[in-house]
Structure 1
Amino acid sequence: MDSSTWLLFFFLASTITVTRADLPGTWELLVSNAGIATMHTAVTHHGTVILLDRTNIGPSRKMLRKGHCRYDPNDKVLKRDCYAHSVLFNPTNNQIRPLMILTDTWCSSGQFLPDGTLLQSGGDLDGLNKFRKFVPCEPDKLCDWQELQDVELDSGRWYATNQILPDGSVIIVGGRAANSVEFYPPKMGSVHLPFLGEVEDTQMDNLYPYVHLLPNGHLFIFANNKAILYDYSNNKVLHNYPPLDGGPRNYPSAGSSAMLALERDYSTAVIVICGGAEYGAFIARSTDTPAHGSCGRITATDAEAVWEMEDMAFARVMGDMVMLPTGDVLIINGAQAGSQGFEMGSNPCFNPLLYRPAEPAGLRFMTLNPGTVPRMYHSTANLLPDGRVLIAGSNPHYFYKLAGDLPTELRIEAFSPEYLSKDRANLRPVMEEYPDMVRYGDGFEVVVSVPLSVVGMVEVNLGSAPFVTHSFSQGQRLVKLTVTPAVPIGDGRYRIRCTAPPDGKIAPPGYYMAFAVNQGVPSVAQWVQLTA
């Protein structure tokens, strides 16, 4: 290679490096060994994060507290199991504490109750009909999982989806061989939902259906490539939406889905579904079949709604969609080929994408700074109160496999969107005064301080804490409150008058992260309980 060719090579290499470095967002390693592979995650109103795996996976890399072991004569791997399969992570000091869970939580579902308790339901084997609870405590206290003995699921639920309802109860939708719904607290037995059977195929693409509570009080339920408007109170399908092009979108062909932020008069709800696997990739166990890169967007509250199609910069299966405090959506994790399942994916997708709903079609996707850790099957992404996104998990293997190209991943990372960059620090507000509890429809005030003068309107947005598993955030929601212009009260402080959501159809009761957002830069959230 002559000197001019070498110069051209180094010029191109340096250009690529600069381009990568200039992409928005930053990564940081928080924990090099969480002790467990993470299949499910949820952020509590004490700011801690529950990480959860399955129990029948054999030895993890975290021991339970001394004297605490699980005894299960039916466990084929470890009948006396002294290893943790759930841990509690504290993002303020990156400490990990083991938790003890008894019944199998493999591919289970969950949702927070109005009092902040995490309800966890179903799973495999001895967990199939089980309910569990985790009552969060302060980080320096001891709290652990509770197996409920006085109530069980009417139908076994494996790969189901949970959604909190306006009255604070929870509906549990679908699951393998469970084309029905039921409720917690129990209101009746299982209620058959024929739609779930109609969209089931030979590779079961109706699992982990996408369920969104619309502001009209009905449910948008999507499975495979079809969706319905469902009146759960009367077990009635009110509307059939047009099919979404591009093949199946649910497990095992999983893309991901999010409902965009509710705002203004709260009458409109827009659903976005992105990515997915080619039909048949799962059946054929094909790891190199390219994933889909298409996204569908639909106004679910419109009687004549149709899908608007767009293409992402990357094909993606097993991605996660995270609602950011600004109303933008982060699409992160996943693979560019194969499907969900053990040893079923390949070609990790390292580049996150930012989906900007307010932009016109064709300009909504922004490519962000790539990570370096493959995050594929059984990985998760959760918004933290400080605005970062917690990234955990990835175990493409039936048991733990810590060597090879795509190992069982025990590292925990955080991705910081561009709004947390140093050049935007002077725009970041601080919530100095806020209520701990707000009732529906009530007016209330918050006081924020901002290093620079406020320009325009400061938003106050409520973000839920979803239960994240298998590329879908169950119960995820962002509600933009009606606010008055910020009034300066001296020393860089501003008073903002807010109006709480009118009812539980807009925001079900429970704990929310309240963010003040100034020119696209969110504050650290404060937890506010919304109640009737």
Structure 2
Amino acid sequence: MACPGRRNFLWFLSVVVLISSSTRAQPGRFDVIAQNAGVASMHTVVTHFSNAIFLDRTNIGPSQINLAAGGCRDNPDDRTLKHDCTAHSVMFDYFSGASRALSIYSDTWCSSGQFLPNGTLLQTGGDFDGFFKVRYMTPCPNGGTCDWQESKTEFLHSGRWYASNQLLPDGRVIVVGGRSAFSYEFIPDRGAGQFELPFLKETNDPTFNNLYPFLHLLPDNNLFVFANRDSILLNYFTNTVLRRYPTLPGEPRNYPSAGSSVMLPLDSANSFSNAEILVCGGSNKDAYAYPAGQLPASQTCGRMVATSGDPNWNILNMPTRRNMGDMVLLPTGQVLIINGAQSGSQGWGYASSPCLNPVIFDPVSSKFETQAASTIPRMYHSTANLLPDGRVLVAGSNTHEYYTFTGAFPTELRVEAFSPAYLDPANDWQRPKLVNYPGVINYGMPFSVDVSLPGNLTGDIELTLLSAPFTTHSFSQGQRQLKLAVSTPLRANGNTFTVKSSAPPSAVIAPPSFYMLFPLHNGIPGTATWVMVTY
């Protein structure tokens, strides 16, 4: 068996590699924006009030932030601390770095979630006393008093631990899978019940590898479902599998093997009809069963046009091996792959050799670019979410059963922001700024924005919409990007230009919710505004 000394040696080697390569001026920058958020975020969302919700789990003992006003949680079903005066969720102000304690009652361990059309966060499942729970959080501005509410009338049909959620065009959320839950259901239920999905049982193996299935709503209103190494196209109205896709070569990709997935941006240039799936990373098939071996992680990605008449996986190699990486769609249409490890798998203490350098994948060139490194390892239970200013919020990492601040890879309470190269001040001379814009856009209807430039117009002005996903366990549930059609910019006055566009044609293309609307000038994004996309 591998001993702790071997892991420490591997960690030492990774630091040496980092130091020796630090002179290469790799792009991007990490900044620590909070030294102690109070909780290690296992689940993260960014709200339309420009703050974030960090959510850990109960049954873990005390966190590092107390509940407000001397409040305590008395839960006889808590397996660790039945009288708990600490918080396990916070509202995080990513400008000031301040945290406000929120109150969670039942266990949210390895749960799932999604924003509803009105901006309320739906949160489902967990373990132990949270197995069947449905929770809500209606976000509010920093300084507000909003908090979690646990439903007393809604319950899941099956206990769902390690499930995935996806917002649908009609405003419902589909909840798929979970450990020993080979089915799916809807919130709100509307009397539908639950539906068996044999595909989830078929992709189960001795170490699972089909948990937190990757879900992507395609522009034909069918659901792409990926588990282990296989995928299907599901008509969720009729519970019919319409297509079985080719098996993705290589290692298992889902929990606990910890790959990640995005649907690449939908583009108005082809009427949003082309849906391409990207799956990256994963673990050796024996890594979870044999953690002492620290087996090498996957180095491959697969990309496939799921809407093609003859879909096949195109295999790409990442610069380094990676599992537990988070994939974040950037306003440029590129994909950031951040966090993770080069060996092992998900699980307490099951990974070593952290991936400190993110990479950015360009779907146009199919090339990867290695980014500047963090000094903070973020492996099991880490998250990454896009912010409206174009930074990426990076939080969490707890490879231990409880909060542990000694030894290798201690529980991580610091919060970072990663700034891609497009935020370099050298690009400020062409950075656009939205100065006039709608707060609501309606399906298929025209709208216009005014964009101010610091200097002359030197390239195209583009508009792109990005959703706010629920991020946990290396998958951002509900992540979606749309490149909108735009007119030729017309000078309104000075260096301010009017750009005309159209909202997405239907809720199938963009399920109703709040989205970040980013302006780009010559490929450089400005700060987004939140818009509600609705009927």
User: TM-score per shorter chain, which class?
Assistant: over 0.9
Decide whether aligned partners of structure 1 residues 386 and 14 sit closer, same or farther in structure 2, where only a CA change above 3 A counts. Answer: closer
Local SS of the residue matching 2:296: coil
TM-fit CA distance, 1:527: 0.4
CA-to-aligned-CA distance 1:8-61 (integer Å, 9 cap, x gap): xxxx99984421xx1100110100011111100000110110000011100111
Local SS of the residue matching 1:66: helix
**2:184 matches 1:181:** yes
**2:406 matches 1:409:** no
Match of 2:280 among 274, 277, 285: 274
Match of 2:403 among 395, 400, 404: 400
Decide whether aligned partners of structure 1 residues 401 and 292 sit closer, same or farther in structure 2, where only a CA change above 3 A counts. Answer: same
Give, in whole Å, the separation in 2 of the partners of 1:77 and 1:197.
32
**How do residues 63-82 of structure 1 correspond to structure 2 at under 5 angstroms?**
63-82=66-85
The residue aligned with 1:419 is 422
**2:203 matches 1:226:** no
The residue aligned with 2:31 is 28
Give, in whole Å, the separation in 1 of the partners of 2:18 and 2:182.
54
Give, in whole Å, the separation in 2 of the partners of 1:242 and 1:211.
16
CA contact (8 A) 1:440 1:530 kept: yes
Decide whether aligned partners of structure 1 residues 14 and 254 sit closer, same or farther in structure 2, where only a CA change above 3 A counts. Answer: closer
Match of 1:197 among 189, 198, 201: 201
**2:307 matches 1:296:** no
**2:240 matches 1:236:** yes
* Count of aligned positions: 516
CA-to-aligned-CA distance 1:221-257 (integer Å, 9 cap, x gap): 0000000011000000000000000121000001100
Local SS of the residue matching 2:201: helix
Give, in whole Å, the separation in 1 of the partners of 2:170 and 2:456.
41
* Residue type at the aligned position of 2:138: V
**How do residues 17-416 of structure 1 correspond to structure 2 at under 5 angstroms?**
17-19=22-24, 22-187=25-190, 188-263=192-267, 264=269, 265-286=271-292, 288-359=294-365, 361=366, 364-416=367-419
Give, in whole Å, the separation in 2 of the partners of 1:286 and 1:468.
28
Give, in whole Å, the separation in 2 of the partners of 1:299 and 1:287.
36
**186-195 vs 170-179, which deviates more?**
186-195
CA contact (8 A) 1:287 1:337 kept: no
| 5+ long unaligned stretches in structure 1 | 1-11
Give, in whole Å, the separation in 1 of the partners of 2:76 and 2:386.
38
Give, in whole Å, the separation in 2 of the partners of 1:414 and 1:282.
30
TM-fit CA distance, 1:276: 0.3
Give, in whole Å, the separation in 1 of the partners of 2:259 and 2:195.
27
Give, in whole Å, the separation in 2 of the partners of 1:451 and 1:457.
15
Give, in whole Å, the separation in 1 of the partners of 2:464 and 2:231.
28
* Residue type at the aligned position of 2:418: F
Give, in whole Å, the separation in 1 of the partners of 2:436 and 2:134.
38
Local SS of the residue matching 2:69: coil
Give, in whole Å, the separation in 2 of the partners of 1:501 and 1:214.
14
Give, in whole Å, the separation in 1 of the partners of 2:498 and 2:186.
41
TM-fit CA distance, 1:139: 1.2
Give, in whole Å, the separation in 2 of the partners of 1:269 and 1:14.
40
Local SS of the residue matching 2:427: helix
**2:483 matches 1:477:** no
* Residue type at the aligned position of 2:518: F
TM-fit CA distance, 1:519: 1.4
Give, in whole Å, the separation in 2 of the partners of 1:151 and 1:351.
43
CA contact (8 A) 1:287 1:346 kept: no
Give, in whole Å, the separation in 1 of the partners of 2:296 and 2:131.
33
Local SS of the residue matching 1:195: helix
TM-fit CA distance, 1:130: 0.4
* Residue type at the aligned position of 2:182: N
**2:462 matches 1:456:** no
**456-465 vs 248-257, which deviates more?**
456-465
Local SS of the residue matching 2:352: strand
Give, in whole Å, the separation in 2 of the partners of 1:17 and 1:325.
27
Runs of 4+ in 1 over 6 A off after TM superposition: 12-15
The residue aligned with 1:7 is none
- What CA RMSD, in Å, does the superposition of the two structures yield over aligned residues? 1.2
* Residue type at the aligned position of 1:313: P
The residue aligned with 2:3 is none
* Residue type at the aligned position of 1:168: G
TM-fit CA distance, 1:433: 0.5
The residue aligned with 1:488 is 491
User: Alignment identity in percent?
Assistant: 52
The residue aligned with 1:9 is none
Local SS of the residue matching 1:162: strand
Give, in whole Å, the separation in 2 of the partners of 1:14 and 1:393.
24
TM-fit CA distance, 1:509: 0.2
Give, in whole Å, the separation in 2 of the partners of 1:405 and 1:342.
12
Local SS of the residue matching 1:91: coil
CA contact (8 A) 2:512 2:534 kept: yes
